[in-house]
Each structure stands twice: as structure tokens, then as C-alpha cells.
Chains A and B, each alone.
Chain A
Amino acid sequence: NAGVTQTPKFRVLKTGQSMTLLCAQDMNHEYMYWYRQDPGMGLRLIHYSVGEGTTAKGEVPDGYNVSRLKKQNFLLGLESAAPSQTSVYFCASSLRASYNEQFFGPGTRLTVL
């Protein structure tokens, strides 16, 4: 049982390049989330999904897109990376909606030059 995994662990991009971050969970969770973590800002929700085939915007969605074609996978895309997207990205999942633990992946450290 690997829990929540993320690939890649590190990535350096040039401004304007695109990339996709992959999140996978093996806990059969319905809900999945993408956060970004910046110093002094805590974790901010980018996009989330309440089930296979669904996605919704979070607190800071601009510049990102997501897809959830399979229940176990949640992809985060950056179409045209900007230096402001330099951050550590975390994926999380939870079984239910309310009063429920979110399980986090190990993170992806992204630098945009």
C-alpha cells in the first residue's frame, strides 16, 4: 500500500514551458486535491475532484488545469509556466467529504526560471 505518490519529485522549467504533474493513490479515495505550498502562505488549494471525471477550482486555480480520467489518478498541468508558479506542489486524497483525514503525497518541488 503506497498511499499517495507523486511524480516527478523535482523539476526545473523555463518560462513558457509546459509540464504535467502526476498524482496516484491506491486507497480507493473519492476525493483528490492539488495544493501549492509557499513560505509563509501555508497550503493553498489549486483544484480538487470529488470523483472520477469531475474537477473544480480551488483558491488559486489560475494558470493550472487538471484532469481525473481514472479514480486513482489526478493530473495537474501547467500550460505556460511562469516564475510565480515556483513552489512545492502537494497532492492529497480523502475517502469522504466531512470530518475526514486528507492523506498527502511527498510533494514535487518545481522551479520556473
Chain B
Amino acid sequence: QQQVKQSPQSLIVQKGGISIINCAYENTAFDYFPWYQQFPGKGPALLIAIRPDVSEKKEGRFTISFNKSAKQFSLHIMDSQPGDSATYFCAASSGYKLSFGAGTTVTVRA
């Protein structure tokens, strides 16, 4: 049983549009919420991460929104570019072990 539920499974967005991926968790002991980006044939790489003491974190065109009371967090990709086409995984941890969501494949159409 996955501890982190991620949706949607896939999405298509036009260049310049906004991509939104949502994740939900149950374990209130989780205290670190990273997002990983994976290109075909490659290993995942850390994109951005947040701790539950803040509600939002922005790095360039990528923003994490965090709602502690709802136990939900989301990734927003602003001004989506073809180079953002990849699979995105949310994750959560309370220590060194990460629990991953199922992944969202994002396709950005030029």
C-alpha cells in the first residue's frame, strides 16, 4: 500500500502553460517532502523539496504548495517548456527512508 498517493498519472500541457501535480499522505510523522524529476533512461534527480513548517517554496519556474492540515502537497510548473517533459515523483520521509508516489508523466507540446 503506497503511503503517498499521486495524481494525475499523466498530463499534457501546451508550451507556456501550467502543470499541476498533486500528492496526499496519511503518515503525520513525515517531515520532508521532495519532488524528483526523471528523464527516460535516467535515474531520478532531486528537483525541489519542502519541510512542513512552510506553506510554499519556489525555485525558478517550480513551486511546491504544502497544506499540512489537509496532508496534501502539490508541484506547479509555470511556463512549461518542452524540456520539462519527464516523469515527476513526489515523496515523503521521516528520516532517511523515502516513500514515493506512483509518478506523473508530463508531456509539454511545443
Contact = CB atoms under 8 A, between A and B. Distances in A.
A52 B97 CA distance: 17
Contacts of B45: 103-104
Size category of the binding interface on chain B: 20 to 34
A74 interface: no
Contacts, number: 60
B95 A42 contact: no
B52 to A, nearest CB: 11
A48 B34 contact: no
A106 B96 contact: no
A112 interface: no
B98 A102 contact: yes
Contacts of B43: 4, 90, 92, 104-107
Contact of B103 (A42, A97, A105): A42
Interface of B: 2, 4, 6, 9, 31-32, 34, 36, 41-46, 49, 51, 89, 93, 95-98, 100-103
